[in-house]
Amino acid sequence: MAVASFVARDVSPEEFARLCAWERADARVRGGGGRSSRRVTIVAARGGELVGCAVLVVHERDASPTGWGYLEELFVEAPLRHHGVGSVMLEEVEARAYALGVREVWTRTAGYEAPGFYARQGYARCFRVPSYFRSGHALVGLRKPLPAGGRRPGPARRARVELALVERPLTPAEQAHLARGFVAHGEEHDNPETTAARVGFVALAGGEFVACVSGLGYRDEAGFLPWFFLTNLFVAPAHRGLGLGRELASLIERRALELGMSRAWTQLTSLWELGFLRARGYSPRAVFERWGPREVGLVTVTASLDGA
């Protein structure tokens, strides 16, 4: 194998540009087209003050909707919870997403947050990552098919308080306020604030960038949480079949173990990726079908890194 070295670092901006070009070429070969997205944000205000928001990401291929949307955020200020604010915002953001071509929505939530709320809104649990949080609570995945015909955007259900719903992006100050709110809610359930730490390796052949792997670990004041998220593993087309992917996967899994993370999970879309990770002991937990042409769907997989 003509590989000079594996280096523990993230990709450079120039390498990232090459990586994106390779991924676009792979997508064209699979007939999947280029990935893109747009966000739909509903802000709930009372007396001119933000009291909640809902953010839904519309997944696209070649600037056309895939039919799937991801509910990225749903937040209500503590004094107004249990007053129907979340239900109203969710219904509105779903209606606007439907008008943009979304037919099914998925989301993730902490086990201590809102699985019961989502169940009442028509969402069904589709995967569970156990003991994901410091408190021992799971990360729960949910999905919901939107009703045929959808609902025209505009007020239908009413909250038990007077609200104004507006579609607009959050300001930086509102985003910071939202982040503090999520931290405070986590701390109420014995989950201190965490920071993300990126782990990565690149493979060089003759000094040239040919492959990479990266992932995220989350740590609080007590150390790393047990789950490591594999964000990317890619080998340049001309260097496939040489074992680079296996070597890079082994390197990053060992590094995660050294840092105190004993389990790994990721989400992927191709049959090749699924077969590769299954051979490494990853098990499928959920499949979001019809994700894109000639793709297996969005698959959630998990693995134990320490053999337990």
* Chain segment 211-247, per-residue pLDDT in tens: 999 999 999 999 999 999 999 999 999 998 889 999 9
Q: What's the rounded mean pLDDT across residues 15-22? A: 92
Tokens of 79: 């004094």
Are 127 and 286 in contact, with CB atoms under 8 Å apart? yes
- Report the alpha-carbon distance of residue 76 to residue 225 in Å, rounded: 26
Chain-centre distance of CA 252, in angstroms? 20
- Model's pTM, two decimal places? 0.88
- SS3 of 189, please? coil
pLDDT at 118 over 60: yes
What residues does CATH 3.40.630.30 cover in the chain?
Answer: 5-30+194-304, 35-188
**pLDDT reported for residue 157:** 56
Please classify residue 84 by burial: count the beta carbons closer than 10 Å to its beta carbon, then call 0-12 exposed, 13-18 middle and 19+ buried.
Answer: middle
CB 83 within 8 A of CB 114: no
- CA Rg value for the chain: 21
What architecture (CATH level 2) is domain 35-188?
Answer: 3-Layer(aba) Sandwich (3.40)
Instruction: Give the three-class secondary structure for 256.
Output: helix
CA pair distance 190, 134, nearest whole angstrom? 7
Q: What is the pLDDT of residue 155?
A: 53
Q: Please report which helix (H) or strand (E) contains residue 37, including its range.
A: strand 35-46
User: What residues have CB less than 8 Å from 62, skipping those under 6 apart?
Assistant: 33, 34, 36
Domain 5-30+194-304 class in CATH: alpha beta
pLDDT for res 230: 96
Among candidate residues 29, 31, 53, the one with its CA nearest the CA of residue 42: 53
> What average pLDDT does the structure give for the chain?
88
Q: Which two tokens stand for residue 151?
A: 């609902």
For residue 88, what are its two tokens? Answer: 């109203």
- pLDDT tens, residue by residue, 248-277: 999 999 999 999 999 999 988 776 788 889
Secondary structure element (H or E) that encloses residue 202, with its range: strand 195-205
What share of the chain has pLDDT > 70, as a percent?
A: 89
Q: What is the average per-residue pLDDT within 57-78?
A: 88
The letter for the amino acid at 15 is: E
Pairing of strands 227-235, 263-268: parallel
